[in-house]
Each structure stands twice: as structure tokens, then as C-alpha cells.
Amino acid sequence: MEVINSIKLMQEISESIRNSGKKIAVVPTMGYLHMGHLSLINKAKEIADIVITTLFVNPTQFGPNEDYDKYPRDFNRDFELTKNNGSNYLFYPDTKEMYPINFSTCVEISRITEKFEGAFRPGHFKGVATVVAKLFNITKPHYAIFGQKDYQQTLVIKRLVEDLNFNIEIIIAPTIRDYDGLALSSRNTYLSTSEREKAGILFKAIETVKSEIAKGQRERLILNSYLHKTLRQIPEIKIDYASCVIANTLEEPEFFLPGDEVVILIACYLGKTRLIDNSIIKIPYSLNESNFKEDYI
């Protein structure tokens, strides 16, 4: 595996891979890789000839009071993990390479970014859309793989690709979970032992709502109250949002209808650590319908 720090060199390599008729898949990451990231690399290997993993902790998607400085970093570990998992290139630019002194462009997506993460992290999706547009132009992929864990981000990326006509297929890979259902995240390393023991509550809240849907509950506010009630079992939790909404638009109807794809979205602090999770469920046409679609698999 080759580590590339230069944008120009990465572009030359990608261009020459494309010219040779091979397909490129990119896996954008902020490093400190876990099994979730590795599952994205594996997915990339399945569908493309060449896998480019990018590793860049993008400052512009962090708010001024967020955890940019303390975000976990371990290049050597990430290098070994990407290499051993079959990534062909690791694109690892520094901040000056990505944002030189006169940098003054942003890509902004409206509507879908206004709620939930966008509301609690102003500017976050502008930072994401801008850096992803750059990474697409730098790595020139045919496919780009993102994790479902950042659900609203996947909507933003899809809109970015459609609206700016990036000729790239976006693939969303399922969330990888720990023994108790906690979604894997680099930020989980912030949790103390006792917090970690309580963090399974997000998954439990999701499961509770799914079971209420299975029992026939369709009223959004009642479903949301199950989320909140479950999360509040842990007093150290401060909820940013916990909400069931239409999956592809984030709309909030009074009742969900048969066939609706609903995403259950949670963001909350457990102590000082901000955790997010989500799950998609399709409202069944009848209560006897046992195997309704869940998540992207």
C-alpha cells in the first residue's frame, strides 16, 4: 500500500488507474479506524479494482467548541489496518495541502441539512460537503463508500453527488455494532468504563421503537416518546434529538403509513461524549408481515 500526501500525485495516480480501465472505490475516513471503517474497505474491495482510503481529520466540519483538537489520531495504527485490509492507497494530506492560505470556497446543501445534526452542529455539513467534493476530485473514484452510522451525512452526500453531477456511485454500508449494540465510532474511546457500560442504551432505545412499530404503533410523537423514555433511563444522558422521521426526506408526519421508510435518529451526550446512532425500518403493510426491511443490506 502506498501513502500519498500530495493532491497532485494522488490525481495523477487516479487518472492513470482510470485510463487503464480499472475501477476505483474511495473510502473517506477521519482515521482512528475501527471495524466499521474496515467493513467499508472490504465493501470497496468487493466492487472495485483499486481501493483508495483517505485519512484526513477535516477541521472545517468541527464547530468551534467541538473536539477537533482531541479527536483521536494514530497514523501508524491506521496505516497498518488499511494496509492489512487490502487498501491500495492511503491518501493522507496535511491541512495546508487541503486548505492552502487563500482557500475561500464552500459547498453548501440546504433543506436536508437544516434539521438534526445540521441544527446542533451549525456548519458541520458545509464542512463535510466541501471536503467530500475535494476528495472526489482528488481521488476520481467510480464508487464511494460511506457508513450508515452517519445517516444524515449519507443523505447530504447523495444530494451533493446528484446536484453537482459527480459521476460517482454512492454506496452506504451498514453500521457495525459492538456486543451490546453500540454503534462503533472513533469517539467511543472518549467513554469512561462506566459510561461505556451505559452506552448500549441508544441501541436499546432503537429496538424499543422497532418493537412498538411491530406491535402497530404509527404515531410519530408516541414513537419518539419511547425513544426519550428509554434514553432517560440513564441520568447522565443529555439528548440532542431522538426522533423518528421519513428516511429520505427527514419529514415528520403525524402518523407513519404502510410502506413508509422511517429512520430512527438519535444524538445525545453521555457525559462529555456525543454519540449518534440510527436505524431504518419500513412500516409493514400488515401486522403479520414479519420480515420488514431494515437498514441497507
**Contact status: 111 vs a copy of itself (CB under 8 A):** yes
- Choice between 135 and 237, CB closer to a copy of itself: 135
State the Cα–Cα distance between residues 59 and 99, nearest whole angstrom: 10
- Choice between 15 and 197, CB closer to a copy of itself: 15
Q: Helix, strand or coil for residue 118?
A: helix
State the Cα–Cα distance between residues 60 and 227, nearest whole angstrom: 31
State the Cα–Cα distance between residues 90 and 51, nearest whole angstrom: 9
**Contact status: 164 vs a copy of itself (CB under 8 A):** yes
State the Cα–Cα distance between residues 185 and 175, nearest whole angstrom: 10
Rg (the chain; Cα; Å): 20
DSSP string covering 206-235: HHHHHHHHHTT--BHHHHHHHHHHHHTTST
Q: Which residues contact 156 (CB under 8 A, 6 or more apart)?
A: 109, 112, 113, 125, 128, 129
State the Cα–Cα distance between residues 279 and 247, nearest whole angstrom: 9
| Cell numbers that stand for 50 in this block | 483499486
Site residues for a copy of itself, 224-283, by CB under 8 A, read: none
| Cell numbers that stand for 183 in this block | 454503534
- Choice between 5 and 233, CB closer to a copy of itself: 5
Identify which range of 72-80, 109-117, 218-226, 261-269 contacts a copy of itself by CB under 8 A: 109-117
The CB-of-50 to a copy of itself minimum distance in angstroms stands at 16
Q: Binding a copy of itself by CB under 8 A: which of 104, 193, 286, 290?
A: 104
Catalytic residue (choose from 34, 37, 142, 228): 37
- Look up cell 436499546; give the residue: 204
Which residue type occupies 200? G
The CB-of-76 to a copy of itself minimum distance in angstroms stands at 27
Identify which range of 68-76, 143-151, 160-168, 218-226 contacts a copy of itself by CB under 8 A: 160-168
User: Active site includes 228?
Assistant: no
- Look up cell 444530494; give the residue: 159
Q: Binding a copy of itself by CB under 8 A: which of 65, 76, 165, 286?
A: 165
Identify which range of 52-60, 99-107, 143-151, 281-289 contacts a copy of itself by CB under 8 A: 99-107
The CB-of-107 to a copy of itself minimum distance in angstroms stands at 5
**Contact status: 18 vs a copy of itself (CB under 8 A):** yes
- Choice between 153 and 208, CB closer to a copy of itself: 153
- Cite the active site residues: 37
Site residues (vs a copy of itself, CB under 8 A): 7, 11, 15, 18-19, 21, 100, 102-112, 129-130, 133-134, 137-138, 140, 159-160, 162-167
